[in-house]
Amino acid sequence: MVRDWTAVMPVKRLTAAKSRLRGAVPPARHADLALAMVRDTASAVLAASAVAELLVVTDDPVAAAAVAALGARVVPDRPGAGLNEAMRFGADEVAGPGRHRAVLAGDLPALRPDQLDAALTAARAGRAFVADAEGSGTVLLAVPPGEPLDPRFGPGSAAAHAASGARPLAGDWPGLRQDVDTPADLATVLGLGAGRHTCELLRDLGLEVACVSAA
C-alpha cells in the first residue's frame, strides 16, 4: 500500500470539547476523557499503512504535547474560526493541495488502522466522505491532489457533503463510523473495543470496562 495520505485532525481545547458527553465521567475527568479519545484516534491513524503524516490542528497545549509524543505534527489553529476552517487550513494550506488529504474527527477511540486504510483506498478516485454510524454526520472527508477540501461539517453534514459533490463511501467500518458525542455513543464504542488510553482512563475511574485495545 502506498503511504501517501496526509491525515488532518482538528482538536478543540479540551476544556470545551465534547459538551454533550458531560456526565459520562466525573466532571474533573471530562477533559481527560476527551484527551484519551484523541490519543486513541491519533494512535490508530499513525498506525495506518496509507498515512504518511498526521497533522493535528489545535491550540490546546496538553493535546498538542500528547499527539506530538505519538508522532503527529502539530500546528496552531491560526484561523480560529471553527471546525471547518481548521480542517481547511490544515488540509489546503499547511499540507497543501499537491497531496492526498483526509480530515477526520478526533473522537474515534475504536478506530482500527485497517479500517482507515480501506476507506482511504476507496477514496482515491475523488473527493469522498464517510458518514457516521447514525448516517447524518461525517467522520472523514478525503480529497485527491488538486482538489480543495471544501468541508461542510456540522449538523446534517453527510447530506451537505453529498450535495457538494463528494461521494459517500459505503464500507463496513464500525470503528471509523462510531464517533463519541454522548454517553450512549461511549457505551457503543466500548462494545466495539476502544483503544488503550480510553480503556485505561475508565478503569482508573473504577469502571468495569470489558474492551479490547484497538492499538
For residue 157, say whether it is annotated as part of any ligand binding site.
yes
For residue 6, say whether it is annotated as part of any ligand binding site.
no
Whole-angstrom Cα distance, residue 176 to residue 56?
A: 18
Q: How many residues does the chain have?
A: 215
Whole-angstrom Cα distance, residue 215 to residue 47?
A: 8
Alpha-carbon dihedral 60, 39, 4, 77, rounded to 10 degrees: -10
Amino acid identity, residue 94? V
Nearest to 44 by CA among 170, 169, 173, 152: 173
Q: 49 in helix, strand or coil?
A: coil
65's grid cell: 504535547
Amino acid identity, residue 67? V
For residue 154, say whether it is annotated as part of any ligand binding site.
yes
Contact of 111 with 41, CB cutoff 8 Å: yes
Strands (E), the chain: 5-11, 51-58, 73-75, 100-104, 128-131, 138-143, 167-168
The residues, any chain, with a CB within 8 Å of residue 77's CB and separated by 6 or more, are 10, 57, 58, 59, 86, 89
The annotated binding site for phosphoenolpyruvate is made up of: 138, 154, 157
Binding-site residue set: 138, 154, 157
